[in-house]
Structure 1
């Protein structure tokens, strides 16, 4: 029964982490657009800056924020369900989220590079 609870916890924490990342990402777009009064030309120049460094920054910064928040949230959750190794469980959640990003990032990088080359 403990294994089932642990697996369900990992799946739910992964889903919560992914939803939190999307929320932080959209909020960062909204805040940057509001603070700097961004229009389409300003966003394009920001994303094209340094061969897409601006785009990578805006994608990775919320991801790092999400990893920190998810580590803390999963640590609290694993302590709440009396999981003996709460830090190890939290690290596994962060590693799971990171592995998914590592496999998705090259595909995202190719899409961005093709988009940048197509606009020149």
Structure 2
């Protein structure tokens, strides 16, 4: 959860730093085609089915008594697994986020330097 939040904040900073120009809207014919509506309907149906499955699964898990849960769901056990079994993935994700942050800063600095040269 913490890494998901960190990625969202990083994405927000990238969007703010780059100050991307607005794109032109799509031609009206593309948005009104039958294929676009069919793809949208299929995706909406898939999302509804997945949401129904997730809600059904959460009700099943909610009826389980907390004392019947295995011990591996405790915070220390999750931390131990994260830093022992999944240490490489954890560190790779950390490095990936760091590189993305440095890239965003570099691109933003280049954009600001070009803007100051023009005006």
TM class by shorter chain equals: 0.3 to 0.5
TM-score (norm 2): 0.33
Bigger relative contact order, structure 1 or 2 (CA pairs below 8 A, ≥6 apart): 2
TM-score (norm 1): 0.33
* Greater helix share, structure number: 1
